[in-house]
Amino acid sequence: MQMPPDSEPTTQATTAVATPAESKEGSRAPSVRAGREGGVDLEKGRTGRGTSGTIYSSGDLLPGEYAVPVLGQGVKSALTKPVARATKWRVWYNPYRQLFTFCLTLNLVGILLASTDHFPYGKRHGPAITLGNIVACCAVRNEAFLRVVFYVLVKIFQKWTPLGVRIWLTAFLQHLGGIHSGCAVSAFAWLIYTTVMIFQHHKQTGASESSMAWAVITCVILGATWIAAMPWIRERHHNWFERNHRYAGWSTLGSVWIFVCIADTLNRPVNPNKSMGWNLVHSQEFWFTVGVTILIFFPWFTVRKVPVEITTPSPRVAIVKFQRGIQQGLLGRISRTATLEYHGFGIISEGIGSGCHYMIVGVQGDWTRGIVNEPPAQLYTREMKFAGLPYLAHLYRRGICICTGSGIGAVLSTCVQLDNWYLIWIGANMEETFGPVLFDMIARKIPRDRYIVFDTKKEGRRPDTVKMLKDIYDSFKAEVVIITSNPKGNKELMQACKENNMHSFGPLWDS
């Protein structure tokens, strides 16, 4: 992205203690200076809070005080040249879309082979394959299943394996949503195929009218659930999506149970000499349906109504405090009611023994606005927390978390609890917006040579995030960057990291 022609790049950096220096190459980014200025011992790498109120870090990372590079007045993007098409493609066609493509293509090929009599199993057991896809779809969204998978894989592969293996594993685990979406669409496709086969061969198979009717009903309900999850609907009508996805999903499960129980004529009996009940229990469809039921309802047994303390340091943010400490890398879901929409947020905690944890609720819609304007004394939450991208920080020897605004909620625990992670937090009016709790935690728990907090409002300009990331990535010997920003910021930084050979991951809308 080109800078506006009327915005000249600056060669000065705003820093709390160091005097900026001009780059010899005429770069807009300042050079790194070493020395002793402003009453701060730069040889030891200690800094303080400057008159601007912005916090900077230094220390052993760089030879002296690091002068945060900044953009020119009014410049919003740190990308100074067009991004290569190959880079844009790599960022867009991420592992999420790759997994979606793989799952959907594999199933469509199966349907094609079954319809041309080259896949006899698929022709006879369409309902079983439909349910198998639904099992996979639900498993990769199940808190308990994901906790086990993340824990086992991290324990096995952390730190010692080649970096390329850990990067691939992180990409796969972060983008499991591609399997969720791909298998959901595939299940709908197989169900349509099965329904068509029932109607085409009902005379030969003796399929009952009730089984035919329930096949159609299941198609309609599952189709409605799938349509409600389309990205453009989720984005514009999120609350409606939440309720539809939940209740239509439960209705689909009930319809599937009825369909499986009465559709004994769809396939040859397992044992014609046994009762229908015996054959049902020994069928694949029955046990797939049992698996789906367990995956869907198990997390609901962990729902609890818990007391909370909510502070609203600004009209845009609520800080929700819960009892008990939480390990880093986990996220939680909260709701005002037991069964309506649940919203996921990153968890901030100093550790399991800290006695409390926090969630940052930023105003983005009616539900979050209600938390800020009318803070409740109690909220519903699931005690079974789910592992997110920051949980995979254990895989790496060193890394950087860069976030903007309320994105700090997802990564602060990582930098607090792990001493090999560097924090960069960028925002506007940060202390006024978020209050003292987070700043106090940062000051107490993270050494000053492991964080940068940059307030764009106080400085009157934005930092050159690309230059800053490159400097710290090289000096800190980081292996990976975790980005938590808005969609535009995520995309820009992901592209910049690709262009500069830095491994990076950012949260997706449906990752």
- The whole-number pLDDT of residue 239 equals 67
Cα separation, 205 vs 208, in Å, equals 9
What type of residue is 484? T
Which pLDDT value is given to residue 206?
63
Summarize pLDDT for 374-413 with one digit per residue, the tens.
999 999 999 989 999 999 999 999 999 999 999 999 999 9
Using one digit for the tens of pLDDT, what is the confidence trace for 147-170?
999 999 999 999 899 999 999 999
The pLDDT of residue 56 is: 42
- What average pLDDT score do residues 318-345 get? 91
CA distances from 420 to 61, 151, 158, 390, 400 (A): 12, 19, 14, 13, 9
CA distances from 132 to 184, 270, 290, 324, 338 (A): 10, 19, 11, 38, 29
Predicted pLDDT at 443: 93
Given a cut of 80, whether residue 15 has pLDDT beyond it is: no
Mean per-residue pLDDT over the chain, rounded: 81
Q: Which residue has the tokens 């995309």?
A: 491
**pLDDT top residue among 458 and 113:** 113
Domain boundaries, the chain: 89-140+176-301, 303-387
Handedness of CA 258, 259, 265, 267 (dihedral sign): negative
Q: What angle do CA 104, 107, 112 make, to 5 degrees?
A: 120
Angle 383-342-178 (CA atoms, 0-180°, nearest 5)?
95
With 50 as the cut, is the pLDDT of residue 456 above it?
yes
Chain mean position to CA 305 = 25
Q: Is the pLDDT of residue 329 over 90?
A: yes
Residue 348 CB partners (closer than 8 Å, separation 6+): 357, 358, 359, 360, 408, 409, 412, 413, 416, 438, 441
Residue 280 has pLDDT above 80, yes or no: no
Paired residues of 359 in beta bridges: 320
The per-residue pLDDT for range 98-126, each reduced to its tens digit, is 999 999 999 999 999 999 999 999 988 88
Architecture of the structural domain at 303-387: Beta Barrel (2.40)
